[in-house]
Amino acid sequence: MDTMHTAKEKLAAALRDVGVSAEPASIPIELTEDLSRGDFASSVALAYSKAAGLAARVLAEKLAGSVSSIEGVSKVDIAGPGFLNFTLSAQLVCAGLEAVRSDPDAYGKGEGQKGKKVLFEYTDPNPFKEFHIGHLVPNALGESVSRMYEFAGAEVKRANYQGDVGIHVAKSLFIQLEKGITDPTIEDLAAAYPEGSRRYDEDSSAKKAIDELNKKIYDKSDDRVNSLYEKGRTLSLSHFEELYKILGTKFDYYFFESETGPVGIAEVRSHPDIFPESEGAIIFRGEEHGLHTRVFINKLGLPTYEAKELGLARLKRSKYPFDLTLTVTANEQAEYFKVVMKAMEFALPDLQGKLAFKTNGLLRFAEGKMSSRLGNIITGEELLNDLKEKARGRATDSRAEDPEMLAEHVAVAAIKYQILKQAFGKDIIFDRERALSMEGDSGPYLQYAYARTNAIAEKAKGAGVEAKFDANTPASDVARLLIRFPAITKRAAELLEPHIVTNYLISLAAEFNRWYAAEQILDGTPAAAHKVALTDAVRITLKNGLWLLGIPAPEKM
């Protein structure tokens, strides 16, 4: 907000008058947690009281005088040990509200990342394995940060990197071959991998056969294997695509380990100085950099995950000349990624500073970690269907024109909200009952508030009430929260933290619901025009905010 910037400059100048030099940028000013204290606050008097040789409250008194006449600030209070609390004028708040409605689609957009080319990589399920609920986490987070960057002015591309080769494929094909399957169905695939994985662990002859099959997959030497492989791969990928559609993700690029492997091997072999040989494998010695050693090419000459990651970086670069590529990957890969990133700094110096990763937590039940290897999995599809069914039951008296679609939208909101309400890397303790209950702090709560604003807008239209802000109406807490949205989206994008948006939206929706419960909006008086306009501003902000989270915003519920 410009007002906050002006306040910083005035405070810095006032500090100079008492013999303290401070840059405007270093003046602490923050949005208040509690609106009863004002719109923003500064602890500047506490921070500089020692330097000024004055008691904090005395310094606060002196500084308050210098900022009391800022345009748009209606009052400055001194509170507690010496905080300066700023309250914005109704006129300024009203001007902020006008901005919401003058260009609804743009409200909350910024230019913080303007012109940057960014490639986000997330979701990364493996063909031949299930898309389990754990994949929903990076998908929800990755999609949201992609949208936040788009909102901040960046040119964003989305990428999905999938393991279409590797031992998991061999485990699946081994079972399919054993069963004589020639045209696998989704069900066949779902059953084959867990079974193959079990056999691999329990049966040494099966393990041997699977390892050999794995080599055949890489060198494509067996036609029957090739055919089954192609069919399974295609089937898996098209199945994933159905989910992405429901989840609201559209990828620009797909990368596969079958492509990154060869590129990675070539890259690794061309840098023998960086990647020496040891015990038959090609490695990177991370100890020299405070990390640990990782194998890039194993003794069979096959690329490991690490070499493939190197190849992936090259391929990404050739597809899209990014300024930054950010990979969303699981927490348990954080240590590997540090090593891979360090190795890339040496092997791919042109990409230095352009590679980043962020790790997400697990979606777990009370019983413990989900594992598709153990077979006790819940797929993303199953979870969505469960939530959908529950949502259908909830929707008594629904006004939705397409109840089936609404149930799906509510299901997506329920699961995504659970993921996006907390900080990026944290595990999501998935309580099925809680997610299913959809009460209170939830995605459906946000959707419901949004639907309500639409209902009011429609009713106002029917009643012939024209929405119009009145600058003389005292600024309500709803209005004061509304004008914070651009500051919220900016911060969320800078920190790559969707939960900042989530928490803001839930407080906005709660404040709106409180206001709605206390106020008759269409009250038949001239004041209705302002209230309808305010409701409309809430509608726009919730809509844009939900979009940032990748949560669908149904017009009617």
Partner RNA sequence: GCCUUCGUAGCACAAUGGAUAGUGCAGGACUCUUCUAAGGUCUUGAUGUAGGUUCGAUUCCUACCGAAGGCACCA
Burial class (CB in 10 A: 0-12, 13-18, 19+), 396: exposed
Write the CB contacts of 550 (distance below 8 Å, at least 6 apart in sequence).
140, 143, 144, 147, 247, 248, 249, 416
Query: Smallest gap, in angstroms, from Cβ of residue 71 to RNA?
Result: 21
122 binds RNA (CB under 7 A): no
**502 Cβ neighbours under 8 A, 6+ residues apart:** 417, 420, 421, 549
> Looking at 11-19, 94-102, 225-233, 509-517, which segment touches RNA (CB under 7 A)?
509-517
> According to the binding rule CB under 7 A, does residue 333 interact with RNA?
yes
- Annotate each residue in 479-498 with x if it binds RNA (CB under 7 A) or - if it does not, as one string: --------------------
Cα 141 to chain center, whole Å?
3
Shortest Cβ 204–RNA spacing (Å):
14
Site string for RNA, 402-421 (x = CB under 7 A): ----x---x----------x
Options 91, 331, 385, 473; binder of RNA; rule CB under 7 A: 331
Determine if 295 is a binding residue for RNA (CB under 7 A): yes
Q: Total residues contacting RNA (rule CB under 7 A)?
A: 99
- Of 444 and 552, the one with the shorter C-beta distance to RNA is 444
Nearest residue (CB) to RNA, 156 versus 251:
251
What is the rounded distance in angstroms from the CA atom of residue 29 to the CA atom of residue 26? Answer: 9
Q: Minimum distance from CB of 440 to RNA (Å)?
A: 2
Residue whose pair of structure tokens reads 């308050």 in the numeric block: 64
For residues 89 and 535, which CB has a smaller minimum distance to RNA in the complex?
535
- Structure letter (DSSP) for residue 206: H
Name the pairing type of β-strands 73-79 and 40-42: unpaired
Nearer to RNA, 317 or 394 (CB): 394
Q: Which residues of 248-278 are buried (b: 16+ CB within 10 A; e: fewer)?
A: bbebeeebbbbbbbebbbebbeebeebbeee
Rounded to whole angstroms, the Cα distance separating 170 from 184 reads 15
Shortest distance, position 433 Cβ to RNA, whole Å: 8
Between residue 195 and residue 224, which ones bind RNA under the rule CB under 7 A? none
CA pair distance 81, 45, nearest whole angstrom: 9
Cα dist from 261 to 44, 162, 306, 329, 552, whole Å: 55, 12, 9, 19, 37
> Does the footprint of RNA cover residue 448 (CB under 7 A)?
yes
CA–CA gap between residue 287 and residue 278 (Å, rounded): 14
Region from 137-145, 194-202, 231-239, 425-433 binding RNA, contact rule CB under 7 A: 425-433
* The residue to which tokens 């008691």 are assigned: 55
Q: Is 452 in the site for RNA (CB under 7 A)?
A: yes
**Least gap, CB of 379 to RNA (angstroms):** 18
Q: Which is nearer to RNA, 156 or 370 (CB)?
A: 370
Minimum separation from the CB atom of position 191 to RNA (A): 20
Distance CA 76, CA 6 (A): 14
Residue (of 286, 335, 275, 361) closest to 310 by Cα position: 275
Q: Does 370 bind RNA (CB under 7 A)?
A: no
Q: Please report whether residue 514 would count as binding RNA according to CB under 7 A.
A: yes
Q: Is 556 in the site for RNA (CB under 7 A)?
A: yes
Q: How far is the CB of 302 from RNA (least distance, A)?
A: 7
Q: Is 273 in the site for RNA (CB under 7 A)?
A: no
Among 335, 381, 386, 494, binds RNA (CB under 7 A): 335
User: Among 116, 231, 319, 434, which residue sits at the site for RNA (rule: CB under 7 A)?
Assistant: 434
259 is an interface residue for RNA by CB under 7 A: no
Least distance between RNA and beta carbon 371 (Å): 10
- Amino acid letter, 371: S
> Who contacts 166 (Cβ-Cβ below 8 Å, separation ≥6)?
126, 214, 257
Residues 62, 20: Cα–Cα separation, whole Å: 13
Residue 25 binds RNA, judged by CB under 7 A: no
Report the nearest approach of RNA to the CB of residue 344 (Å).
Answer: 16
Residues 73-102 that bind RNA (CB under 7 A): 79-81, 83, 85
In the set 87, 176, 249, 304, which binds RNA (CB under 7 A)? 304
When asked if residue 53 is in the footprint of RNA (CB under 7 A), the reply is: no
Task: Based on the shown chain and the rule CB under 7 A, indicate whether residue 375 belongs to the binding site for RNA.
Answer: no
Strand partners, 132: 379
CB neighbours (10 Å) of residue 100?
26
Dihedral sign of CA atoms 100, 489, 443, 400 in order:
positive
Shortest Cβ 13–RNA spacing (Å): 19
* CA 302, chain centre distance (Å): 34
Residues in 307-326 that interact with RNA by CB under 7 A: 308
- Interface region with RNA, contact rule CB under 7 A, candidates 111-119, 266-274, 511-519, 537-545: 511-519
Under the binding rule (CB under 7 A), the answer on residue 31 touching RNA is: yes
Q: Which of 156, 192 has the CB closer to RNA?
A: 192
Decide if 239 contacts 282 (C-beta within 8 A).
Answer: no
Nearest to 478 by CA among 555, 529, 536: 536
Minimum distance between the CB of residue 115 and RNA, rounded to whole angstroms?
A: 25
Strand order in the sheet with 294-297: 277-278, 281-284, 294-297
Give the DSSP H or E segment for 342.
helix 334-347
By CB under 7 A, is residue 11 in contact with RNA? Answer: no
Using the rule CB under 7 A, is 281 a contact of RNA?
yes
Kindly state whether residue 473 participates in binding RNA, applying the rule CB under 7 A.
no
- Residue 137 lies near RNA (rule: CB under 7 A): no
> Which amino acid belongs to residue 210?
I
Instruction: Between 156 and 414, name the residue whose CB sits nearer to RNA.
Output: 414
59 binds RNA (CB under 7 A): no
